[in-house]
Structure 1
Amino acid sequence: MSKPEKIFKSTTDQLDILQRRGLVIDDPMFAEEALIRTSYYEIINGYKDLFIDVNVEEERFQRGTTFSEIYYLYELDNTLRFAMLSATLSAENLLRSVIAYVLAEEHGHSVKDYQHNRNFRQGKKIMHGRAKGKFERELLLQIFSEVYHSTHQPMTYYRETYQDMPPWILVKGLSFGNLQYLFKLMLPESKTKVIARATGMSPELINDRFKQSFSETFDILVAFRNWAAHGGRVYNHRVRRRLSHSPVHARFNVTHSAYQKHGRGRDDILSFIIALSYLRDRGIAERFIQSVTSEINDYVISFPRHEDMLLSQMNLSIALYKEWLHNL
């Protein structure tokens, strides 16, 4: 059976519907302004689930739930989304820099030198999409060619002025996902150098397990960045990538038991923080943690009864949150 057609409703109608479903409109003027400025769909449909009474068949809000409780959860998430985008931009800039450096150091700064087949692994055969039948290396070199012939600056300037493009210019034309693809196909010794420069670790300490962990952090950062860039809800989001439990988790009081039982630090916002903490610029993770802590604290001050619910949704332990709050 098809669902009834959605019809236009004024903001007054929308507030009446919410009241009939048990939502307390604690400040009608504020609520109407919020719906005009942001939309019913973004606020209510995006964040109502935590406040719905699951014990009744018809959709009704839990007794005493106010419009402000839902709206400020939306605001918390919106702030975290921008903080996440800022953090991934900083991480992306760092990774672009070190990858370009290693390419130039290992293979030279001219296109004819660093864009040679021998500098990258062949990868797997692609079974779907525009590059079906090609190996991953062929697709990577095709992406390089597209960037080289781009009409955007500074690529156009270097191509027309020097008939060449050093890697530190080429990487500016790569998306974060393509940058990850480039890293994936680099030769083992080049990967080690990238990881060493990106993390500040000595190359001698970088074993296969750490390489795998670092590759997973790349996955996590790209996945959360893409989700946030498309306006997705981030505070309780779980990405489809996985960050394996590692000694780095111990810095965040995540035992192997907590990782296995609750998925803490595996694919949640904490996994994003742990991924950031691998980078040599510790300030990136620290600034994001401060944003997370400040937003949780502000929400809990206004709505203390929701502290446990909020931390549970974010998959954060109360002990870790209190530690962050103490350091804020």
Structure 2
Amino acid sequence: MSKPEKVFKSTTDQLQLLQRRGLVIDDPMFAEEALIRTSYYEIINGYKDLFIDANAEEESFQACTTFSEIYYLYEMDNTLRFAMLSATLSAENLLRSVIAYVLAEEHGHSVKDYQNNRNFRQGKKITHGRSKGKYERELLLQIFSEVYHSTHQPMTYYRETYRDMPPWILVKGLSFGNLQYLFKLMLPGSKMKVIARATGMSSELIDDRFKQSFSEMFDILVAFRNWAAHGGRVYNHRVRKRLSHSPAHARFSVTHSAYQKHGRGRDDILSFIVALSYLRDREIADHFIRLVTSEIYDYVISFPRHEDMLLSQMNIPITLYQGWLHHSK
């Protein structure tokens, strides 16, 4: 049976509907202004789930739930989304710089040198899409060619002025996903240099397990970046990628048991933080942690009864949050 068709409702109608469902409109003027600026769909449909009475036959809110509780959860998440985009931009810039450096160091700065077939693994045969039948290396070199012939700056300047394009310019035209694709197809020796330079670790200490963790770190950052860039809810989001439990999790008091039982640091916002912590610029992760801590604190100060619920949804253990809070003071 199909659901009834959605019909237009004025903001007054929307507030009355919410009241009939048991939501307390604690500040009517503020609530109406919020719905005008942001929309019913973004605030209510996006963030109501935690406040719905699971035992009610028809959708209704838990007793004493206010509009402000939902709205400020939306506001908190909105702040986290922009912080996540900022953090991934910093991580992306670091990884671009490192990958371009290794390409130039290993294979030269001229297109004819570093874009040679022999500098990259062949990869798998593509089985679907417009590139079906090609090997991944062919697609990578096609992406390079598209960037080289781009009409955007500074690519156009280098192509027209020098008839060439060094890797530190070419990588500026790659998306974060394409940068990850480039890393994936680099030769083992080049990959090792990228990992060492990006993390600040000595090559002698990088084993196969750490190589795998670094690749997964790339997956997690790209997945969260794409989700945030498309306006998705981030505070309790779970991506489809997985970050394996590693010694890096110990810095956030995530035991293997907690990882297995609760999925902490696997595909949640905590996994995003762990992924950032791999990078040599520790301030990227630290800055994001400070902002997350501040946002949780501000929400909990206003709505203390939701502390456990919020931390549970974010999959952040209360002891870890309290430690962050202590260090931020």
Identical columns (%)? 89
Give the partner amino acid of 1:60: S
Structure 1 position 250 matched with structure 2 position 250:
yes
Q: Which moved more, 1:118-127 or 1:201-210?
A: 201-210
Task: Report the TM-score, using the length of structure 1 for normalisation.
Answer: 1.00
1:177 and 1:277 map into 2 onto residues whose CA distance is 20
- Pairwise mapping of residues 17-36 of structure 1 onto structure 2 (< 5 A)? 17-36=17-36
Give the partner amino acid of 1:70: I
1:282 and 1:4 map into 2 onto residues whose CA distance is 51
SS of aligned partner of 2:243: coil
Give the partner amino acid of 2:44: I
* Other-structure match for 1:206: 206
* Other-structure match for 1:309: 309
Once the two structures are superposed, residues 219-262 of structure 1 have per-residue CA deviations (whole angstroms, 9 ceiling, x without a partner) of: 00000000000000000000000000000100000000000000
Give the partner amino acid of 2:148: Y
Give the partner amino acid of 1:100: A
* Other-structure match for 2:51: 51
2:270 and 2:4 map into 1 onto residues whose CA distance is 40
- Pairwise mapping of residues 279-290 of structure 1 onto structure 2 (< 5 A)? 279-290=279-290
Give the partner amino acid of 1:323: G
- Pairwise mapping of residues 106-145 of structure 1 onto structure 2 (< 5 A)? 106-145=106-145
Alignment: residue pair count = 328
Give the partner amino acid of 1:135: Y
Give the partner amino acid of 1:306: H
* Other-structure match for 1:9: 9
- Pairwise mapping of residues 74-113 of structure 1 onto structure 2 (< 5 A)? 74-113=74-113
Instruction: State the Cα distance separating 1:10 from its structure 2 match.
Output: 0.4
* Other-structure match for 1:73: 73
Unaligned runs of 5+ in 1: none
SS of aligned partner of 1:321: helix
1:21 and 1:200 map into 2 onto residues whose CA distance is 55
Instruction: State the Cα distance separating 1:82 from its structure 2 match.
Output: 0.3
- Pairwise mapping of residues 152-163 of structure 1 onto structure 2 (< 5 A)? 152-163=152-163
1:127 and 1:164 map into 2 onto residues whose CA distance is 33
Instruction: State the Cα distance separating 1:208 from its structure 2 match.
Output: 1.1
2:118 and 2:233 map into 1 onto residues whose CA distance is 42
2:199 and 2:129 map into 1 onto residues whose CA distance is 34
Unaligned runs of 5+ in 2: none
Give the partner amino acid of 1:111: V
**Which ranges of 4 or more aligned residues in structure 1 deviate by more than 6 Å?**
none
Once the two structures are superposed, residues 127-164 of structure 1 have per-residue CA deviations (whole angstroms, 9 ceiling, x without a partner) of: 00111000000000000000000000000000000000
Once the two structures are superposed, residues 87-118 of structure 1 have per-residue CA deviations (whole angstroms, 9 ceiling, x without a partner) of: 00000000000000000000000000000000
Once the two structures are superposed, residues 35-86 of structure 1 have per-residue CA deviations (whole angstroms, 9 ceiling, x without a partner) of: 0000000000000000000001100000000000000000000000000000
Q: Which moved more, 1:109-118 or 1:205-214?
A: 205-214
Instruction: State the Cα distance separating 1:4 from its structure 2 match.
Output: 1.3
* Other-structure match for 1:39: 39
SS of aligned partner of 1:124: coil
* Other-structure match for 1:165: 165
Give the partner amino acid of 1:149: H
Instruction: State the Cα distance separating 1:2 from its structure 2 match.
Output: 2.1
Instruction: State the Cα distance separating 1:263 from its structure 2 match.
Output: 0.2
2:291 and 2:234 map into 1 onto residues whose CA distance is 13
1:154 and 1:250 map into 2 onto residues whose CA distance is 42
1:6 and 1:256 map into 2 onto residues whose CA distance is 46
Instruction: State the Cα distance separating 1:204 from its structure 2 match.
Output: 1.2
1:259 and 1:150 map into 2 onto residues whose CA distance is 44
Task: Report the TM-score, using the length of structure 2 for normalisation.
Answer: 0.99
